[in-house]
Chain A
Amino acid sequence: MTDPTDSTDPTTTTDSSDTSGIDDGSDGQPRDPTLHRPDGGAVLEDDRDADLDRGPFQQWVSDSISHPERVYRAMFYVAAIFFLFTTLFPFYWLLMVALTPEGQLQDIVFTPNGFNPGAFVEVFQVIPFHIYMFNSFVIALASTIVVLVIASLAGYAFGRLEFPGRTPLMLLVLVISFFPPAAFFIPLNDLFNTSFAILRPITGDGTLYNTPFALVTPLSAIFMPLAIFILTTFYSQIPDGLEDAARVEGTTRLGALFRVIIPLSAPGVATAGVLTFIAVYNEFFFSFLMTDGQPENWAPILDGILAYQGQYQVLYNLMAAASILGVIPVAILVVIAQEKIVSGLTAGALKE
């Protein structure tokens, strides 16, 4: 119930109303803190609560309206907690499965059904899981390096140079991602099992099967388009002026790429690197078919996890424990890389 003749416009109800007249003093006049409204309400000012007959909810709402930063803060915390819960709960549940002894896998909600931390040790006794992890790590690292180097060159060309055929070539790169990986399998299987004379001294039978190359090469190619597009996006955003400045000081063209563009696009490069690493580490299709599954033949982690499946009996607890252990190197990598992802260097570089 507002008095229309009143010169100020107090908030007295719980519906949102114009608050700007209260707090920011935009009418330019200092207000008398002792002003009262004819109906007994008070003019609100300076965070002081009025002597109004309000419930706590209405109080909270009015506080929120007068202090939007608090609301955003609260929303932020709610969102953060919600995201944390939804992303971490399945991991927690996985841990519960890992801790449950074999054969007692029933009705697991928040606690394991029994307690068997020995599963984490057993994982290594049943198969040499650490070798699989090592293999995966090496293959993923090699693929990431290959991808980042080659995609940087391509990203620079697509993102900063103008040449005929730029768009068609970009589309051609994109087309690779239209195909399911299985589409490439049969010709690649033939290729990697063909015996090449020059390789015979190195690999014994002259084929690339069972070497890390049998995995690094196809996986690098398959994840190359994403890296090229990410790097193109980020490289194209670096202002010309920076590169020109470096060239004037005598860097070569390639030098400009590696010494100026890449460091300035660190968030993009780190993101591309992390995504490629994780994708190769976790890949489902080629990892299984390009090696014969033996740990000494560069079988990646997928084969390791599948090794816990018997023909009729699946050791879920060991699979869960192995996967938790397998995620650790990746998590460490993400921790390290995310420093780079969030460095946001552009702001600094422009202050010449």
Chain B
Amino acid sequence: MTTETDDGTGIDTDPVPDGGTVTGGEPGPSHEHERTGNAAVNWMESLSEAAYAYLLLLPAFALLTLIAFYPMIRTFVMSLRANQTRGLDPLGGFVGIENYIDILTGNARLARQFLDVGLTSSFPFIELGTPLFQQALFVTLAFAVISVVVETVIGFGQAYVLDQEFTGRRWVRVAIILPWAVPIVIQGMIFFLLFQPTVGFGSDLMQSLGLFSGTPLANSQDAFIIILVADIWKSSAFMALLILAGLQSVDRSLYDVARVAGASPWQRFKLITLPLVMPALLVAMLFRTMDAMRVYGLIESTAGCTTVPSLSCLVVEAMFGGTRIYATAAAVAFATALVIGLIIGVYVLLFRDTDGGMY
């Protein structure tokens, strides 16, 4: 064992090395390169650490500015104007945050509402304008929370299985990751057909178990569960893939050391595996949550946005529903981003101090 691993982990958990000592512009190596005479390389070597970092970030931010930030700003400006369904110009005059207020109070020009609650003076102090499963905010939040939790657990199990050595491991790996490779429209089609009463056996099975109604794809709660299962089937593979990559990076010798020291499997998991996999696990959960909150294609292919409204459903409906209400669409998009931002903020705060927290 080399000296680097004596501190027990062998992995530098401090993500940012001390600046300046090695990676800064040392006279040594760059001096050698002056002889080989590449001006651009010389210039790069002589940059300070911060300047070099900005240089590296330039391509990424150039692309993102063009494709993401600039449209984002334009969309925000769109959300501050009025809808206009007639005439060549899709937007009317400036109305400030009126669109946002309409959305939050359930008065937007949408078939399914973002949020539709009112306050009453008697217990329980809240009354619902429409059933909870028909309000996009609730549906999306419930979907995201439940799916991410279940997918993380299942994904972890799958990754653990795949991490072991056994014959045929390669094929089991491919098989477990395969759901992620299925196009969303096909994923939707599979579950749509499975629960069509005449085609698949899903609805009969669930009805005989007493869990579903006779027409699950038309019923908001049943369809919600179907879509949840469809998403868990597919996205556990995503979690498994990322967690597996994390597991694979863990040095095996650590387990040997721990075993010799008498740690039980649970202790090995808790004290070695979990902290070392945490960074990959957090990235996986983070992005899976964001993707789950933006679910759209799966719903469209399965039960339709009418039955299970999600936040992205509202955006697309406002944009392409036929009535051209782009301002409302833009406002819903920003409201969605705000909600997701709040959820992610919770993540960042919760995990800020753990080993995996690079934030």
Find out whether A and B make contact in their complex, taking CB atoms under 8 A apart as touching.
yes
Chain A residues close to B by CB (< 8 Å): 72, 76, 79-80, 83-84, 86-88, 90-91, 93-94, 97, 105-109, 149-151, 153-154, 156-164, 166-167, 169-170, 173-188, 191, 217-218, 220-222, 224-226, 228-230, 232-234, 236-241, 243-244, 247-248, 250-254, 267-268, 270-271, 274-275, 278, 281-285, 301-302, 305-306, 316, 319-320, 323, 326-327, 330-331, 334-335, 338-339, 341-344, 346-347, 350-352
Give every chain B residue within 8 A of A161 (Cβ-Cβ): 16, 19, 23, 49-50, 52-53, 56
Known: A87-B175, A182-B329, A267-B248. Contact between A153 and B56, CB under 8 A?
yes
Q: B180: CB under 8 A from chain A?
A: yes
18 additional A-B residue pairs with CB within 8 Å, beyond A76-B161, A162-B50, A163-B49: A80-B161, A83-B158, A91-B179, A157-B52, A160-B17, A160-B23, A163-B53, A178-B340, A183-B330, A188-B71, A222-B67, A226-B283, A284-B296, A320-B186, A331-B181, A341-B248, A342-B173, A342-B248
> C-beta contact mask, B294-323 vs A, less than 8 Å → 1, else 0?
101100100000000001100110010000
Contact A275 B241 (CB under 8 A): yes
- Name the contact of B315 in the complex, choosing from A183, A236, A342 (C-beta under 8 A): A183
Task: Among A109, A234, A239, A253, find the residue whose CB has the most chain B CB atoms closer than 10 A.
Answer: A253
Q: B224: CB under 8 A from chain A?
A: no
Q: What is the CA–CA distance of A285 and B294 in the complex, to the nearest angstrom?
A: 12
Q: What is the CA–CA distance of A234 and B201 in the complex, to the nearest angstrom?
A: 44
Q: Which residue of B lies closest to A159 (CB)?
A: B15
Q: What is the CA–CA distance of A105 and B179 in the complex, to the nearest angstrom?
A: 23
27 A-B contacts (beta carbon < 8 Å): A83-B161, A90-B190, A150-B63, A162-B16, A162-B53, A163-B54, A177-B340, A178-B337, A178-B341, A180-B311, A180-B315, A182-B296, A182-B312, A182-B333, A183-B336, A221-B64, A224-B63, A233-B283, A250-B29, A267-B248, A274-B241, A284-B297, A320-B189, A334-B174, A341-B245, A344-B249, A351-B2
B334 to chain A: closest CB distance in Å? 8
Contact A154 B56 (CB under 8 A): yes
Contact A271 B11 (CB under 8 A): no
Known: A107-B199, A186-B326. Contact between A327 and B178, CB under 8 A?
yes
- Name the contact of B19 in the complex, choosing from A162, A278, A339 (C-beta under 8 A): A162
- Name the contact of A282 in the complex, choosing from B2, B4, B78, B182 (C-beta under 8 A): B182
Q: What is the CA–CA distance of A160 and B238 in the complex, to the nearest angstrom?
A: 26
- Name the contact of B248 in the complex, choosing from A244, A343, A351 (C-beta under 8 A): A343
Give every chain A residue within 8 A of B87 (Cβ-Cβ): none
A89 to chain B: closest CB distance in Å? 9
**Chain B 236-256 interface residues, beta-carbon cutoff 8 Å to A:** 236-238, 241-242, 244-245, 248-249, 251-253
B133 to chain A: closest CB distance in Å? 20
Give every chain B residue within 8 A of A186 (Cβ-Cβ): 71, 74-75, 78, 319, 326
- Name the contact of B182 in the complex, choosing from A173, A327, A341 (C-beta under 8 A): A327
Contact B176 A347 (CB under 8 A): no
Q: B142: CB under 8 A from chain A?
A: no
A-B pair count, CB < 8 Å, reads 350
Contact A352 B2 (CB under 8 A): yes
Known: A79-B161, A243-B22, A346-B249. Contact between A316 and B189, CB under 8 A?
yes
Contact A350 B319 (CB under 8 A): no
Q: Which residue of A lies closest to B236 (CB)?
A: A87
Contact B56 A157 (CB under 8 A): yes
Contact A83 B157 (CB under 8 A): yes
Secondary structure call for the A interface:
helix
Q: B209: CB under 8 A from chain A?
A: no
Contact B17 A240 (CB under 8 A): yes
A157 to chain B: closest CB distance in Å? 4
Contact A177 B170 (CB under 8 A): no
Q: What is the CA–CA distance of A256 and B66 in the complex, to the nearest angstrom?
A: 29
Contact B64 A224 (CB under 8 A): yes
Contact B29 A228 (CB under 8 A): no
Q: What is the CA–CA distance of A72 and B49 in the complex, to the nearest angstrom?
A: 49
Contact A302 B68 (CB under 8 A): no
Q: What is the CA–CA distance of A109 and B52 in the complex, to the nearest angstrom?
A: 60
B305 to chain A: closest CB distance in Å? 12
Known: A341-B244, A341-B245. Contact between A154 and B238, CB under 8 A?
no
Contact B296 A94 (CB under 8 A): no
Q: B349: CB under 8 A from chain A?
A: no
Q: Which residue of B lies closest to A100 (CB)?
A: B199
Known: A184-B67, A247-B23. Contact between A163 and B50, CB under 8 A?
yes
